[in-house]
Structure 1
Amino acid sequence: MFDYETIRLIWWLFIGVVAIAFALTEGFDFGICTLLPLLGKSDVERRVIINTVGATWEGNQVWLILLGGAIFAIWPAVYATLFSGLYAAMLLVLFSLFFRPAGFDYRSKIGNPAWRNAWDWGLFIGGTLPPILLGVLVGNLLLGLPFHLDQDLRSFYDGSFWALLSPFALLCGVIGLLVTSFHGALFLKWRTEGVIHDRARTAVSVLGPLLLISLTVATLWLMSSVDRPEITQMAGASAASNPLNKTVVAAGSGWLHHFLATPWMLLAPVLGLAGVALAWLLGKGQSKAGAFLMSSIGISGVLLTVGLGLFPFLLISTSDPRSSLTLWDATASHTTLLLAFWITVVFLPIVLLYTRWVYKVIWGSITEAAVLKDSHTLY
């Protein structure tokens, strides 16, 4: 039904949608865990904060698993390069995520304040480290990673863990934390009342300008100072996957030229900055759903900027530009893409409908009275 070029592009769009879904759902989830020990001053207040995501945090985390599984099936060369070259960084993300299920499930098993306080900080770690590390990863995707492919298409990582921590990548890590904290504060403001609601609104007022400044600095830095390689020759978009069957110029014309060459793509960074700005302006007032919607649009714009800026690259190699991976030469076979497409067409709508139903059932403000009344069923 779809030729190889078309199905490759469809899967690029699909994986982009999954990445945005992960950022939007797990984003406020991470942010609430980061804000937990900062906005919750008592055990009951912290239980209120936890229960705003208590029924959905596991489902939100599935988007990360789906994202990893999709990359493994659709872009196996990308999966092999990232998960082997960045093994230490990926393990740090995984180990920090371990605190989340343990913290949610064990925190309220014992009433001892020291026990609960320890798990609160465990949830803080599980909500703070992943967005920082994933932000650093995005920064390195934009800068490029030092890897090369041999003639058998085996990937070899030429860098070190510490080399990932460049100034630009660290700025992206800070942005990752600010994005999730800001998004989480807006969600918390939406689903709580009273003092926690007021503290969340204060957090929105503080985090909004910091996020806008960071995003602006990163955008200007990327557009003005970071080189972007250019493909000068490659096989057709429907050719068999072979990343080495192309010619790449290391010092291209830059990221700004890439966006100006296709002016409509400039809508993505504009959408990102405008969405965050409107979320901040609405969020420091009385708006709840509107502010959260604007935050979601802003985050989507930021990720669209990354995806469109990289296109058609998936991974840029700084040590051997020819080894850079693109969606035209680093995908699985045509048959695999088609099979995975039809599986996705059948099951993804079911997942989305179920998710919508869950949020509809559990929606409503979480109050201290409700938590105290249902102490045995709520976290």
Structure 2
Amino acid sequence: MHHLVDYEILRLIWWLFLGVLLIGFAIMDGFDLGVAALLPLVARTDVERRVAINSIGPVWDGNQVWLILGAGAIFAAWPAIYAAAFSGFYIALFLVLATLILRPVGFEFRNKIADPRWRSFWDWALFAGGLVPSLVFGVAFGNLLQGVPFRIDGDLRVAYEGSGLFELLNPFGLLAGLLSLAMLTTHGAVYLSLKTEGAVRDRARGFIRVGAPVSVALFALAGVWVFYGVPGYALTTAAVMDGPSNPLFKEAVRQPGAWMANYAAHPWMMAAPALGLVGPLLVWGLSATGRAGLAFIASGLGIAGVVGTAGVSMFPFLMPSSVAPSASLTVWDASSSHVTLFVMLVATLIFLPIVLAYTGFIFRTLRGTVSPADVQRHSNSLY
């Protein structure tokens, strides 16, 4: 049955699916993270903080499904990536997990006691649960572009040779982290301008005027840095697209400018960085004219452009090795078996539309804005 779809096509489909899931997570869970990270800036009173929190309270846990889907897809479709990532980024991922745990606890516990100190503690916990993941996910992408220090031995065991968290916090990694933070907080501000009323909405609009151009500037700076200062990776032997998943069967080198090669070979890929630059500019213009709904769509397209730029720049590499380039993990040698990818494809084609339909139904059901009057009127039933 699985021979209905060629192995190389399945690998390409799952590379695309991985991109779709990462973009879905960045767009859907991204505005939750952005709103939480903006709490101290957009909300100054308890009522204002509750307005911001209740704008995402009913949907954040559904949006978290995209993170689970993304992690599950990496585990099942790209097990070698999963193993290498959890070796190299272990402390960073633990930090993300620890702060993400603060989110459900903060949402549920914050309103249980009226003591201002109690509520302030959980407000800062929610802030950390938005800020840290937004920053760390960007740092991880920045390090992927530079290469991760791991080797693979003859038994295909991954040996990570890095020194831990602080090694990841290198200048380019931090730039990518700041880009991610600017992008997601701007996305959160657009969502607040769409879903809230009063002072919270006004401050969110004010933040967009800063966040959108900063996102463009950081993305442009990252592009220039990659062009001039971040060596890419290239295959020196022909890729075996339908062969066994053994990274050691190929040879690769690290060389300046390699991350730009795909754009010369496939000019249509320039659509991704163009979208990453134009999206935030559209957000800025649409928000200034009060069209928050269109601004939210533009923000999502900008995020898709930024994430897509990383994907098409690196293709076919998924996780290059900075210490043993030939051990780098690619689309053609880091996947699960032919049968596994086919079974997962069938399952995805069944369940992903259900997730999308459910998400659309929830957002339609919960359409409308959150106002200070709503929060005060329903003080005991809302977050």
| Counterpart mapping for 1:179-198 below 5 A | 179-198=183-202
Give the residue type in structure 2 aligned to 1:357.
Answer: F
CA contact (8 A) 1:234 1:245 kept: no
Of 76, 79, 82, the residue aligned with 2:82 is: 79
Deviation at 1:249, TM superposition (A): 2.0
Deviation at 1:57, TM superposition (A): 0.5
Q: Distance in 2 between matches of 1:110 and 1:45?
A: 17
Give the residue type in structure 2 aligned to 1:366.
Answer: V
Q: Distance in 1 between matches of 2:179 and 2:48?
A: 27
Of 117, 122, 125, the residue aligned with 1:122 is: 125
CA contact (8 A) 2:89 2:140 kept: no
TM-score, normalised via structure 2 length: 0.97
Taking only the aligned residue pairs, the percentage that are identical comes to: 47
- Is 1:103 equivalent to 2:109 in the alignment? no
* Secondary structure of residue in 2 paired with 1:358: helix
Q: Distance in 1 between matches of 2:327 and 2:260?
A: 23
Give the residue type in structure 1 aligned to 2:171.
Answer: P
CA contact (8 A) 1:134 1:176 kept: yes
Deviation at 1:111, TM superposition (A): 0.6
- Is 1:321 equivalent to 2:340 in the alignment? no
1:303 corresponds in structure 2 to 307
- Is 1:294 equivalent to 2:298 in the alignment? yes
Q: Distance in 2 between matches of 1:36 and 1:207?
A: 15
| Counterpart mapping for 1:1-379 below 5 A | 1-161=4-164, 162-234=166-238, 236-251=240-255, 253-379=257-383
CA contact (8 A) 1:259 1:265 kept: yes
Deviation at 1:252, TM superposition (A): 5.3
Q: Distance in 1 between matches of 2:111 and 2:231?
A: 51
CA contact (8 A) 1:201 1:285 kept: no
TM-score, normalised via structure 1 length: 0.98
CA offset digits 1:235-266 (Å, max 9, x no partner): 52011111000011222543233322221111
CA RMSD of aligned residues (A): 1.1
Q: Distance in 2 between matches of 1:145 and 1:73?
A: 21
CA contact (8 A) 2:227 2:257 kept: no
Name stretches of at least 5 consecutive residues in structure 1 with no aligned partner: none
Name stretches of at least 5 consecutive residues in structure 2 with no aligned partner: none
CA offset digits 1:39-91 (Å, max 9, x no partner): 11111111110010110001111211111111000000000000122211111
* Secondary structure of residue in 2 paired with 1:244: helix
Aligned residues: 379
Moved more, 143-152 or 252-261: 252-261
* Secondary structure of residue in 1 paired with 2:136: helix
